[in-house]
Structure 1
Amino acid sequence: MTSAPLLYVCVRPQQGAAAAEYESFRVATKLDESTLGHLDLVREPLPDDVFERYRGFVVGGSPFNVADPESTKTDVQRRLESDLERIAARAAQADGPAALFTCYGIGVVTRMLGGQVSRGFPEDTGPVTVELTDAGRGDALFGGLATRFTALTAHKEGAAEPPPGATLLAVNQACPVQAYVVGDRLYATQFHPEPTTKAFTERMAVYRDDGYFEADAYESIAGRVLAASVTEPARLLRAFARRFGPA
């Protein structure tokens, strides 16, 4: 792991999907390998000096679920959730590094802040409509987006309301908490901001048998994904990179 202004934090056990996710984040942020570092948190713990080396973090998704009983979680999952909480806690400080948690990561942050994550708010795999709140329209990052936009989701858990101390930035009907901010440096999204529609269908193929959708429905769902216009989520990542990335 080499030093760079921003660090992509991988929490996917599937190495092929993880490599593709890093590339999606790199392209969406318009950074290169010298300005977007890579840490595989599944296979190595968070380094002690990570907060001195990076100004910001982007945390990818995972097939793990925060709401699963602790007794069913592996030692790796418990350790990486603890490491993600360390990142979130530092980003919540006014003088800490910035962080953007996505999908699985929003559950980690919500639980850490005292909120409730449950299996009650899943979303089907594919495109969904996300709408900004009044706070979202005035936010430094989200305020540059369209007030309603299409994003890609695939998750088995969610939250009914943001955790204590968080400001709700985006919502939709199926999963009420689509994005929030804590302070001005800790962001979390339920939707995936990084993949193109093509990259998302390739990720779908990796997780075809993992219960996110009926395996024999892959072609029809992939068709809907490829037909969607997904522009705003990548703009969010570019805004994050401009604000917290290379000087």
Structure 2
Amino acid sequence: MASILYVCVRPEQGAADAEHRSFRRALGVPSLDRWNLLDRPLEQSIFDRYDGIVIGGSPLNVVVDERSDLQKRVEADLESIARSAIDGDLSAMFTCYSIGVVTRMLGGTVGTAVPESTRATSIRLTSAGTADPLFAASAPAMSVLTAHKEGSIEPPPGAVLLATNDDCPVQAYRVGDRLYATQFHPEVTPQDFVDRMAYYRTTGYFDPHEYDLTAERVLAASVNGTDLLGRFREFVSDQS
């Protein structure tokens, strides 16, 4: 079986632990190694030790007035992973905050004009998405969970747009053959998402006064985004 590493960029311990479990379950692996970038810098040895890397979400944002030294270092490490995937050394899937890091690295624009609240949403696959090894099985559309304050109106130079919707035009793209990036969260079930909401109740992803209503709507949703990570595991195995 191919070796896959989960890279964590969440400062909240409980949310990070839960996200780790979500990725392990969605990937369909009995165990999943973890690297917390907020605690320790990336070591170059991981590029020899792992065939694939999945990067979780974060309350960090690319669009900020000033980045701390820690955030700058974290983003430099994420860019190192992206370059390795672009070079074909491994396969990687960037999600949530980290899609913005990759977009900026490639010369694209990340802004605050296309946020999405905490909810389930439908995304449409592009013609490239319907032919993609990971996304094709979900054509013509996917139901996914999302919550973000920033995003992009168009993919960065060199990226192939795989999925879109009216609210946030760049939902997923591929760079080369082995780098994937999603604005949405492919790892979570509705229950996972509601559990995560407790950690971010007052951080601007939803109206805290409508917590119960938002949670009720999320729990009632039917999503199929987690299928993507199972296919990513198979893709990594095929490439290794």
TM-score (norm 2): 0.97
Query: Could you give the per-residue CA deviations for residues 161-194 of structure 1, whole angstroms, max 9, x where no partner exists?
Result: 0000000000001100000000110000000000
Q: 1:112 is matched by which residue type in structure 2?
A: M
- Pairing partner for 1:114 from 95, 100, 107: 107
- Pairing partner for 1:40 from 32, 36, 40: 36
Q: Tell whether the 8 Å contact from 1:141 to 1:240 is kept in structure 2 after alignment.
A: yes
SS in 1 for 2:103: helix
Residue in 2 aligned with 1:16? 14
Runs of 5+ consecutive residues of structure 2 not aligned to the other structure: none
Residue in 2 aligned with 1:239? 231
CA RMSD in angstroms comes to: 1.2
Query: Could you give the per-residue CA deviations for residues 132-175 of structure 1, whole angstroms, max 9, x where no partner exists?
Result: 00000000110111311211000000001000000000000110
TM-score (norm 1): 0.94
Q: 1:134 is matched by which residue type in structure 2?
A: S
SS in 2 for 1:222: helix
Residue in 2 aligned with 1:5? 3
Residue 74 of structure 2 corresponds to residue 76 of structure 1? no
Instruction: Kindly state the Cα deviation for residue 245 of structure 1 after the two structures are TM-superposed.
Output: 4.2
Which runs of at least 4 in structure 1 moved beyond 6 Å after TM superposition?
none
SS in 2 for 1:154: strand
Query: Could you give the per-residue CA deviations for residues 211-233 of structure 1, whole angstroms, max 9, x where no partner exists?
Result: 111111111011110000012x1
Residue in 1 aligned with 2:179? 186
Residue in 2 aligned with 1:97? 90
Residue 198 of structure 2 corresponds to residue 205 of structure 1? yes
Aligned pairs, how many?
Answer: 238
Q: 1:236 is matched by which residue type in structure 2?
A: L
Q: 1:11 is matched by which residue type in structure 2?
A: V
